[in-house]
Structure 1
Amino acid sequence: MSSDDEMTLSEVGKLRRSPSVDSIPLSQMDSDPTTTSADSDMPKVSKRKAKNSEGKRKRAKKATAVIKDEDNEDEDVPLAQREGSPKKSTTKKSTSKVKVEKESVSKKTNSKKVTPKKEEKESSVDAEAAAVAAAEEEEEEKYRWWEQEDVDGEQKWESLHHNGVIFPPEYEPLPSHVKLYYDGKVVNLPPQAEEVAGFFGAMLETDHAKNPTFQNNFFEDFLQVIKECGGCNVEIKDFNKCDFSKMYTYFESEREKKKALSRDEKKAIKAEKDKLEEPYKTCLLNGRKEQVGNFRIEPPGLFRGRGAHPKTGKLKRRVYPEDVTLNLSKDANIPEPPAGHKWGEVRHDNAVAWLAMWKENIADSFKYVRFAANSSIKGLSDFKKFETARQLKDHIEEIRKDYNKMLKDELMQNRQMATATYLIDIFALRAGGEKGDEEADTVGCCSLRYEHITLKPPNKVIFDFLGKDSIRFYQEVEVEKQVFKNLRIFKKPPKQPGDDLFDRITPPMLNKQFQNYMKGLTAKVFRTYNASKTMQDQIDLIPNEGTVAEKVVKFNAANRTVAILCNHQRTVSKGHGSVVQRISDKLKEMVWQKLRLKKMIIELDPKLKKKDPKYFEEINDLTKEDEEHIHKAVIERQKEAAHKRFQRENEKLKVEDQELLPESVLKERLEKIDELAQEYAEELKSNKPIVKKTDTVEKLKAQIEKIETRIVNTTFQLKDKEDNSEVSLGTSKMNYIDPRLTVMFSKKFDVPIEKLFTKTLREKFNWAIESADDNWRF
């Protein structure tokens, strides 16, 4: 799909409200034409049972595959492939077979009399028993919760055991020569105040520290901490007289020391850190080992916030065990708090899915230690979220019919309700809510103000406001004429800038109205539904052709359409330009390699140039200046790689207490690179590449084919980088697009899932990878 084929938000909106789309029965619009009617009509519980049986059948087959019956050589052959056997076996038969054979193994291993003739057979049985145990262990580790019949319920767990949380290390005072200066005088700060000053000193050259709001908030809290500690030797009143430069220099030198550590030293530090954290990384949930998410208590520091946050720069205070509430089973061992401390509270609440919580001081809200993204608890939460969004397709036609009718209602509140629902449904606006004076001025649909929309007759609306995370939402869209008329009414005098546009409704009122259509329906569900439905529609437009790289680019273009719909923007990263330049240079180098190989072919067989002039028409595309620049880049990179390799080898030898490589080894390697540079210089001068004796036309053509494939893939990679520089694909892919759509695309289009999901997302959405096939539809 080319960039010309991408949809703007306005076009997506048109698609959402298009009569041609809305008039199609939902059963036809959302069902898979390749699915049989019998399957599509299957009740949801029955489908889950079928999946459950199929999952058990597969696992039983895997278990029985390792138990080989000596009297039947056919035992390891899958049942479906055996001659004269049925294609499928029932779950009961498979599981009973495992049970019988396990009992058989148990009886053999428990036999007291072992004759010499049976020794060989006995050792085989031991191996089989070990294999059975391994299969059972694997089965336990891969808990397939999505195949269970009851995946819902208020109770989150039956038993929960964990080791608590990790607290940040205690503050270590700075060396005596590192001080804060005030108006040229040395300031002797108490440790607590010195720590806070250090937070600012470490950030001295960042954009945050140059922000006046950040400075004012920091200075106010810094003075408060000094007061709490009983003051210091200098009275500090003016932020501008504070000199943090000595602190900044010290922290920078410490950072450089860390960077200069050898790879083995860094590995040793990481290994020690991992060993300390290992007991906290997992917990026992209903007897199964599950990953824990953020098991570390947040360290103290200066709050940064997103966008123009009014509290940026304020002090995030240190959290102590007395501030922390633990949640675990009644029969679980309560973890020991750090010496000299005690836990704030210990609960046994199995209706919540958190392990610990504490209150932070910035927003006066609670922070939680929860299960990891790849845990069954979090997976179940995601599953239910996307299933709720899928259910909306059964009600969306009725909802749209009702709010279109209500757009002309005589009651102003109903008109506002209908107009807000339209904007939430068609343009994926968030519902919005009340904001306090100490929060960033971000708004959603219900909290839009007079100044946030501009009306352009006959039916265009310009939205311009700060959305979630202070990301600007700026779109010019076309709306239904009645919606335009309503918005004009909502802006009529005496309303003026600063006044609410939707002054008769609130998000809770909207959500309460939505509950009349469907249990669990909220404004947020509309975003998930429309994001996933849009992705499904975009995937349906993609032809199943081209290379994997081409398919990935088309998938990302579809993902980008959803990201634009949901306003998932990002600022262009500082390193974007250098990344694009690096890829462009890489492309030029590959083109040079390809042309050089073609010149070699001509050197081997000059007649080929006349036989196939089109194949060789590009050999002079690069100028001598381009080639010289490429030669220089190749040689510099090879020299840099030689230095790094030499350093790594010596680091390894040092750890192993072996003699280090002498500098002469590096010198010899660099001399070979210099010889290559000389060859390139001669080639540039003569315009004739140096051909080796082992080179043949066939070998060179095979190399050219490989390089051309790499050129195509890298070209798509470059296009992807440029197209997605200001759009965040990850947010919609992680939170709004049903992951089973990505899995379906992977399987249907033969694209490795690794190309679409990062390792983290593959772990998070393992349930989707295991449950969706190439025919799955949202």
Structure 2
Amino acid sequence: MSYDSSSDDDKPLAKQNGHVSSPKISKAADRAMENSVSKARPRPPNVSIRNGPVIDDPMDIDSTPNGAPKRKSRSSTGQQAVSYKDNSDSEDGAPLAKRQKKGTNSESDSDDEPIAKRNRGKLPPSIKETGDSTDDDKPLGTKLAQTKANIEKAAAKEARAIRANAKKPTPKKAIKDESDDEPLAKTKKRQSNGVASAKKTNGVKKEESDSDVPIAKKAKKAAPAAKAKAAPAAKGKAAPAKKAKFEKEDTKENSEEDEEEYRWWDAPKKEDDSIKWTTLEHNGVLFPPEYEPLPKNVKLIYDETPVDLHVEAEEVATFFGSMLHSTQNVENPVFQKNFFRDFTDIIKKTGGAKDQKGNKVEIKEFAKLDFTKIFEHYKALSEAKKARPAAEKKAEKAVKDKFEAPYMFCKWDGRKEKVGNFRVEPPGLFRGRGEHPKTGTVKKRVLPEQVTINIGKDAKVPPPPAGHKWKAVQHDNKATWLAMWQENVNGNYKYVMLAANSTVKGQADFKKFEKARELKKHIDRIRADYTKELKSEVMAERQRATAMYLIDKFALRAGNEKDTDNEAETVGCCSLKYEHVTLREPNTVIFDFLGKDSIRFHNEFTVERQVFKNLKMFKKPPKVDGDDIFDRLTTSQLNKHLSSYMAGLTAKVFRTYNASYTMSKLLQQLDPTKVLSVAEKIKLYNDCNREVAVLCNHKRTVGTSHEQQMEKLGDRIKGLRYQQWRTKMMMLDIDPKLKKKKGAEYFELDSTLDQEWILQHQQFLVEETRTKIQKKFEKDNEKRQADGEKPLPDKELKERLKVATELEAKFKKENKSKKVEAEGKGPTVEKFLAAVDKLNERIRTLELQSADREGNKEVALGTSKINYIDPRLTVAFAARFEVPIEKFFSKTLRDKFNWAIQSVGDDSTWQF
């Protein structure tokens, strides 16, 4: 294979540095790659290796970057089943997906074992068990590959059917159905299921999306939305059991809202979608408070000498000193280096540091800085703030809310809309995500002179803080932001946008998912075309096809070209470098690079042999580290090609489509007629969500608190088992003959509860009772003080605390006699039997939660559910299985996806 270096004219812009592939691929070069085919057996393509076994294969064509040894591969078990409820207890240090699963007959009761395996009953089936076949004798990789293949086959069939229906002439009866006489519920149901017409696709006009408009990354929690009108229920479908109660609560919660909710999803579509608003009024942004200097006795210490700093330099010192508890940041060498550079620059600009006698102190070494006094000062302030009486906290919050109220809402086309991030970020130290090269850099205070206001022409411009002025005021009704400024660390623009539950954000989400639904009509042609072009003789076409394969199959982000050298070295598919891709024969590709937000993407995939051969060709010498893999492709070129299939189609639409379509198919496999508890139904949904996250590669790092949370959950389950045993013993206290009737085994202590744990738990219960009594006593006194009454005497507290003392004595007596006296008013065996059943249900629910948490620790379910899975699928599932929607969406998400909840209503038949 030859490389052309004579001309750069036909090479993509910004990719003309380094070694570039030749524009054409000769048959000889193709044959050379074909002859290098490994004799090793190819693994199932299109799956992530981290979700299944990896077979050692010495036939590697690459070494890892910088000559480092290759990552050790895992040996195949060959018999792994797809299940997220069962995890090994012998590989605690390994990620969940890498652990080998034990047989179902394992009887280990070790405390280190995941709680999900210590349950006494079988957990609800995972999504794999609800399908057509479990195929337990097949490896995990094969199963996932088959799942994806089946879904893609169904997608191709559906796409052909949609196009065929679109070509058919509209029958007269259908025209009559679209008349004004048609019931609204029927019209909605037909449109929501994607019935096409001559002017619409999937029920909506083809419109350009505004999804490319930059938005601020941190949206504040949305305020409760105004109560919406109830959507018409579909015939023959009963509302979920708790839905009426939920709606009633919402009505009470939102009773303060005077305005009727704007149901934009029912409103006619605008002719000119580029115009976002006609009138816009708001009160600008809220700046953080000014810096309060440290007390004179609190100083930064350098080389054991307290130093005086200018107020600006002192403020920067407090940025670092106040966060000494965040060791992952302050102990990071990059964080320290960037902070010290900016800190010393500010010291020099503000007159330097001086000792107590006024002598100049040269601050040259970070290691000699001591921030302890500053940290202790802010820690004391924080503890004092927490220790304040509840009444004082409540009063302060009321003052704060009143002060912020004018900024929380705006008038958008005459409607009251919630503003999301109206607060300007305070100055501090930039932390970044992942291994960001600028972590520790000082974020400077944003001044009004940096802020541009966007507002209606006839609206009153909000006044800037006294002594300041705005950078500019504009009236751009094609923009959805209210204010913007440029931050100093990365040079990014920050935007003040409407809240997540606003009309604008809801419409953007709706368009995003409708765009993905529209892709259903074209997905088979797109996949067929790029599969064909994987063997194209034109290098640009082959690179484009390979990139599309990776984006479609593995949810890789397309990646954008970097404009400056100061940006983090983050890449996506189109901007991959030579060192980011390692190839292992016969068809394994290892990616290792910094992705979005500087989070490391380190994963292995098995791919089609042709894709492997192409990547091998794109990496062929003389390419070296720093050279582009896709040197004849840019993101803009890729998106331009995709738009030829469908207006507005970009690479990121594939992530939404694959997640939503996969979720839709998995949910269709579930049987709503099975008798299951609410907790079991939720787990079924989560199993589907988890599989989508795995297939779409939505991975997350295991949280540092995960093991601690699991341990607490395990103790809660043990506590319930102990309570259950005590209840059974009370039954024997009433009727000793029950031991013979029910059998001695029924009354035995659970094997997971040893005597040492019981003693610790009893002490915990005593201390918990004592703490509750003390808190209740303090709360009662605070209330009495607020009402102008005298506080309760200390002897009242002592009297109340006798309950804890009596409980402690009761436990000692039980431990000695091995008997438990019946408690409660009018104790009967029937009452205790009912209590045992309730405890069983609570234990079962916690075990399901435990299995879910353990299965989710490496999978980002929230990423899939919030950003990529159409929320209407979740609403339809809730209606179909009669589960309250609040079990899946928090109050904030219910506000965000109110359009989905209201438009689908109780229509359990809605499909993506």
Sort the TM-score into its range (normalised by shorter chain).
Answer: 0.7 to 0.9
The letter for the 2-side match of 1:180 is L
Partner of 2:299: 179
Q: Structure 1 residues 60, 670: CA separation in 2 closer, same or farther (over 3 Å shift)?
A: closer
Shift, 1:28, TM fit: 6.1
Paired with 1:549 and 1:136, the residues of 2 have a C-alpha distance of: 31
- In the alignment, which of 15, 19, 24 is matched to residue 157 of structure 2? 24
Shift, 1:681, TM fit: 2.0
Shift, 1:580, TM fit: 1.5
Paired with 2:696 and 2:561, the residues of 1 have a C-alpha distance of: 21
- Residue 442 (structure 1) aligned with residue 574 (structure 2): no
User: Relative contact order (C-alpha < 8 Å, sep 6+): which is higher?
Assistant: 2
Shift, 1:154, TM fit: 0.5
Verify the 8 A CA contact 1:10 1:478 in the aligned structure 2.
no
The letter for the 1-side match of 2:592 is D
- In the alignment, which of 208, 213, 226 is matched to residue 334 of structure 2? 213
The letter for the 2-side match of 1:667 is K
Partner of 1:54: none
Shift, 1:181, TM fit: 2.6
Which stretch shows the higher mean deviation, 182-191 or 701-710?
182-191
Verify the 8 A CA contact 2:192 2:910 in the aligned structure 1.
no
Q: Structure 1 residues 158, 21: CA separation in 2 closer, same or farther (over 3 Å shift)?
A: same
Partner of 2:282: 162
Paired with 1:311 and 1:61, the residues of 2 have a C-alpha distance of: 50
Paired with 1:583 and 1:39, the residues of 2 have a C-alpha distance of: 42
List runs of 5+ in structure 2 lacking aligned partners: 1-81, 86-125, 129-139, 166-188, 205-227, 237-253, 355-359
Partner of 1:456: 584
Which stretch shows the higher mean deviation, 291-300 or 187-196?
187-196
Q: Structure 1 residues 230, 633: CA separation in 2 closer, same or farther (over 3 Å shift)?
A: closer
Shift, 1:740, TM fit: 0.9
Paired with 2:552 and 2:570, the residues of 1 have a C-alpha distance of: 20
Q: Structure 1 residues 457, 238: CA separation in 2 closer, same or farther (over 3 Å shift)?
A: closer
Partner of 2:446: 319
Verify the 8 A CA contact 1:141 1:289 in the aligned structure 2.
no
- Residue 576 (structure 1) aligned with residue 706 (structure 2): yes
Partner of 1:71: none
Verify the 8 A CA contact 1:599 1:619 in the aligned structure 2.
no
Superposition TM-score, scaled by structure 1 size: 0.84
Structure 1, residues 578-631: CA drift from partner, whole Å, max 9, x if none?
222221111111111222222222332333333333882645644444433332
Paired residue secondary structure (1:454): strand
Shift, 1:437, TM fit: 3.1
Q: Structure 1 residues 630, 153: CA separation in 2 closer, same or farther (over 3 Å shift)?
A: same
Q: Structure 1 residues 28, 264: CA separation in 2 closer, same or farther (over 3 Å shift)?
A: farther
Shift, 1:387, TM fit: 0.6
Partner of 1:378: 505
Structure 1, residues 65-106: CA drift from partner, whole Å, max 9, x if none?
xxxxxxxxxxxxx9x99xxxxxxxxxxxxxxxxxxxxxxxxx
Paired with 1:408 and 1:316, the residues of 2 have a C-alpha distance of: 50
Which stretch shows the higher mean deviation, 368-377 or 550-559?
550-559
Q: Structure 1 residues 267, 575: CA separation in 2 closer, same or farther (over 3 Å shift)?
A: farther
1:359-758 matches, within 5 Å, as: 359-435=486-562, 436-544=564-672, 545=674, 546-613=676-743, 616=746, 618-619=748-749, 621=751, 622-692=753-823, 694-758=826-890
List runs of 5+ in structure 1 lacking aligned partners: 50-57, 63-77, 82-134
Shift, 1:338, TM fit: 0.9
Partner of 1:98: none
Which stretch shows the higher mean deviation, 226-235 or 384-393?
226-235
Shift, 1:137, TM fit: 10
Verify the 8 A CA contact 1:9 1:475 in the aligned structure 2.
no
Paired residue secondary structure (2:404): helix
Verify the 8 A CA contact 1:166 1:297 in the aligned structure 2.
yes
Partner of 1:774: 908
Shift, 1:22, TM fit: 5.4
Verify the 8 A CA contact 1:10 1:477 in the aligned structure 2.
no
The letter for the 2-side match of 1:721 is R
Paired residue secondary structure (1:538): helix
Shift, 1:476, TM fit: 2.7
Paired with 1:362 and 1:138, the residues of 2 have a C-alpha distance of: 40
Paired residue secondary structure (1:189): coil
Structure 1, residues 628-647: CA drift from partner, whole Å, max 9, x if none?
33322221211121122122
Q: Structure 1 residues 494, 712: CA separation in 2 closer, same or farther (over 3 Å shift)?
A: same
Paired residue secondary structure (1:141): coil
Partner of 2:268: 149
Q: Percent same amino acid among aligned pairs?
A: 51
Shift, 1:2, TM fit: 4.0
Which stretch shows the higher mean deviation, 196-205 or 762-771?
196-205
The letter for the 1-side match of 2:377 is Y
Paired residue secondary structure (1:455): strand
The letter for the 1-side match of 2:658 is N
Paired with 2:750 and 2:851, the residues of 1 have a C-alpha distance of: 25
Which stretch shows the higher mean deviation, 494-503 or 600-609?
600-609
1:270-281 matches, within 5 Å, as: 270-281=397-408
Q: Structure 1 residues 417, 42: CA separation in 2 closer, same or farther (over 3 Å shift)?
A: closer
- Residue 223 (structure 1) aligned with residue 356 (structure 2): no
Verify the 8 A CA contact 2:484 2:494 in the aligned structure 1.
yes
Paired with 1:39 and 1:445, the residues of 2 have a C-alpha distance of: 33
- Residue 251 (structure 1) aligned with residue 378 (structure 2): yes
The letter for the 2-side match of 1:594 is Q
Paired with 2:694 and 2:192, the residues of 1 have a C-alpha distance of: 37
Q: Structure 1 residues 196, 620: CA separation in 2 closer, same or farther (over 3 Å shift)?
A: closer
Verify the 8 A CA contact 1:146 1:767 in the aligned structure 2.
yes
Q: Structure 1 residues 38, 374: CA separation in 2 closer, same or farther (over 3 Å shift)?
A: closer
Paired with 1:656 and 1:574, the residues of 2 have a C-alpha distance of: 44
Partner of 1:128: none
The letter for the 2-side match of 1:482 is Q
Paired with 1:61 and 1:767, the residues of 2 have a C-alpha distance of: 10
Structure 1, residues 733-774: CA drift from partner, whole Å, max 9, x if none?
111111111111111111111111111111111001111231
Shift, 1:316, TM fit: 0.9
Paired with 1:327 and 1:48, the residues of 2 have a C-alpha distance of: 33
Structure 1, residues 166-185: CA drift from partner, whole Å, max 9, x if none?
11111111111222233333
Verify the 8 A CA contact 1:48 1:147 in the aligned structure 2.
no
Partner of 1:3: 84
Verify the 8 A CA contact 2:193 2:910 in the aligned structure 1.
no
Paired residue secondary structure (1:718): helix
Shift, 1:367, TM fit: 0.5
Q: Structure 1 residues 60, 562: CA separation in 2 closer, same or farther (over 3 Å shift)?
A: closer
Q: Structure 1 residues 12, 387: CA separation in 2 closer, same or farther (over 3 Å shift)?
A: farther
Point out the structure with the larger helix share. Answer: 1
Aligned-CA RMSD value: 2.9
Paired with 1:46 and 1:427, the residues of 2 have a C-alpha distance of: 27
Verify the 8 A CA contact 2:330 2:336 in the aligned structure 1.
yes
Verify the 8 A CA contact 2:543 2:632 in the aligned structure 1.
yes
Paired with 2:662 and 2:576, the residues of 1 have a C-alpha distance of: 25
Verify the 8 A CA contact 2:231 2:902 in the aligned structure 1.
no
Shift, 1:441, TM fit: 2.5
Paired with 2:748 and 2:618, the residues of 1 have a C-alpha distance of: 64
Paired with 1:629 and 1:690, the residues of 2 have a C-alpha distance of: 21
Shift, 1:351, TM fit: 0.4
Partner of 2:20: none
The letter for the 2-side match of 1:658 is E
Verify the 8 A CA contact 2:202 2:514 in the aligned structure 1.
no
- In the alignment, which of 891, 894, 898 is matched to residue 762 of structure 1? 894
Verify the 8 A CA contact 1:9 1:565 in the aligned structure 2.
no
